[in-house]
Amino acid sequence: MKKTLYCKLTGGREDDEIFQKAAAVIQAGGLVAFPTETVYGLGADAFNARAAKEIYAAKGRPSDNPLIVHICRQEDLQKAASEVCEKAKLLTEAFWPGPLTVILPKNAAIPASTTGGLHTVAVRMPQHPAALSLIAASKTLIAAPSANTSGRPSTTNAMHVKEDLDGKIDMILDGGAVQIGLESTIVDLTEEIPVILRPGFITKEMLEAVVGPVRTDPALVKENEAPKAPGMKYRHYAPKAPLYLVSGTAEAVTEKINALCRQAKAEGKKTAVIADDGSCGRYAADVVVSAGSREDGRSIASGLYDILRGFDRDGADVIYSECFEDNELGQAIMNRLLKAAGHRVLQA
Ligand code: AMP
Ligand code: MG
């Protein structure tokens, strides 16, 4: 067991000392969890192969699942990638700092353990001031996946990070709750037409407005195809209890979920339901939570992982959820819910 140092950030000058301490940990090959605008990241020196391996060990992450290299200045992209194509320039200028990760050919200086043995590298410049300060103070690039135990929902506040990684990492920087709550959009720029490997806050339409046609990895919609982002093939974001998505008209969904809950209760199970602000009063489950307002994808995204983690604390035995495709973040939200549910969808 390690002693994990926990530091609360205030956003003021007094944080500088904390960033210096965290930077020293990174430079010594240690692991620091830090806030970004998407989810919390678990960072290590991107050029240190041994430190990258420590990340996999702390998370229990399969070693073929590459990390994202985080930078704090546009010009550092060249340190991670060997070639920066025109579309990469356009997209990073448009969306960085921000929730967009680009896949490019790897610079030889980045060790294979950071990229899961791939010849390509994932790079992002986050928008959170604490993330940028930590990278700048470390004077290196920071390889970071999400700061959660592999398979569990990503962490959106420092308490979540503590739950999963206390005693396994060197330091946690607490910057409060994150803004977006879903991982970055990943776009592969190694092909002529950019391919979305993971949907996120930056949508296909937003990308197309900058670089023209963009495709979506077919594996994101078809369960049996091998996804191009290695991480997307694992069951992920999942609470401990089985989760079922229920699809159909609002009325039919309510009726079906209530029938399923009655049946599960008769079997002695503790039932949980994910609804929206309008429908949450209509369910007779042991735990009913509202994901937010159906039209406002941002409200749903920001709280989704906290809701999924909450079911573990409540000890739910089975979870039923409404679907949330009808908003601008619907694709990203449904992608995470489908994976959390292991693609179990019941038609109402
Ligand atoms: P996480 O930071 O935990 O969200 O995980 C990083 C995600 O980026 C995983 O889904 C990886 O599979 C994906 N990723 C990282 N590097 C690459 C790459 N070179 N090619 C494709 N996907 C990548
Ligand atoms: Mg992750």
Q: Among 225-239, 242-256, 324-338, whose mean pLDDT is lowest?
A: 225-239
Condensed to tens digits (0 to 9), the pLDDT of residues 325-342 reads 988 899 999 999 999 999
* Percent of the chain scoring above 70 in pLDDT: 98
Report which protein residue has its CA nearest ligand 1's atom 5: 145
Q: Which residue has the tokens 């670089």?
A: 211
The per-residue pLDDT for 253 is 98
8 Å CB contact between 199 and 211:
no
pTM: 0.95
Check pLDDT > 90 for residue 237. Answer: no
Q: Which residues pair with 174 in a beta bridge?
A: 8
Condensed to tens digits (0 to 9), the pLDDT of residues 109-125 reads 999 999 999 999 999 99
Mean pLDDT of 264-287: 97
The per-residue pLDDT for 16 is 97
Report which protein residue has its CA nearest ligand 1's atom 11: 231
The per-residue pLDDT for 124 is 98
Residue 294 Cα to ligand 1 midpoint, Å, equals 29
Check pLDDT > 90 for residue 40. Answer: yes
Ligand 1: list residues with CB < 6 Å.
Answer: 65-66, 68, 103, 115, 118, 120-122, 145-146, 183, 186, 197-198, 228-232
Mean pLDDT of 222-240: 75
Instruction: Please choose from 148, 186, 196, 336 the residue to mutate so as to test ligand 1's pocket, defined by most ligand atoms within 8 A of CB.
Output: 186
Name the nearest CA neighbour of 324 among 216, 246, 225, 221.
246
- Domain covering 243-347 assigned CATH 2.60.40.10 in the classification: no
Report which protein residue has its CA nearest ligand 1's atom 15: 66
The per-residue pLDDT for 31 is 98
- The pair of structure tokens assigned to 50 is 């041994």
State how beta strands 41-45 and 287-290 pair.
unpaired
Residue 233 Cα to ligand 2 midpoint, Å, equals 12
Domain residue limits, the chain: 5-233, 243-347
- What is 5-233's CATH number? 3.90.870.10
Condensed to tens digits (0 to 9), the pLDDT of residues 135-162 reads 999 999 999 999 999 999 999 999 999 9
Instruction: Please choose from 67, 102, 188 the residue to mutate so as to test ligand 1's pocket, defined by most ligand atoms within 8 A of CB.
Output: 67
Question: In this structure, how many other beta carbons lie within 10 angstroms of the beta carbon of residue 118?
Answer: 15
Dist CA 321 CA 219 (whole Å): 23
Residue 207 Cα to ligand 2 midpoint, Å, equals 22
> Which of the four pLDDT bands, split at 50, 70 and 90, describes residue 305?
very high
Check pLDDT > 90 for residue 271. Answer: yes
> Which of the four pLDDT bands, split at 50, 70 and 90, describes residue 224?
low
Total length of the chain: 348
8 Å CB contact between 265 and 281:
no
Instruction: Please choose from 197, 217, 235, 305 the residue to mutate so as to test ligand 1's pocket, defined by most ligand atoms within 8 A of CB.
Output: 197
Mean pLDDT of 262-291: 97
> Which of the four pLDDT bands, split at 50, 70 and 90, describes residue 223?
low
Mean of pLDDT over the chain: 95
43-75 residues labelled b (16+ CB within 10 A) or e (exposed) = bbbbbbeebbebbbebbebeeebbbbbbbbeee
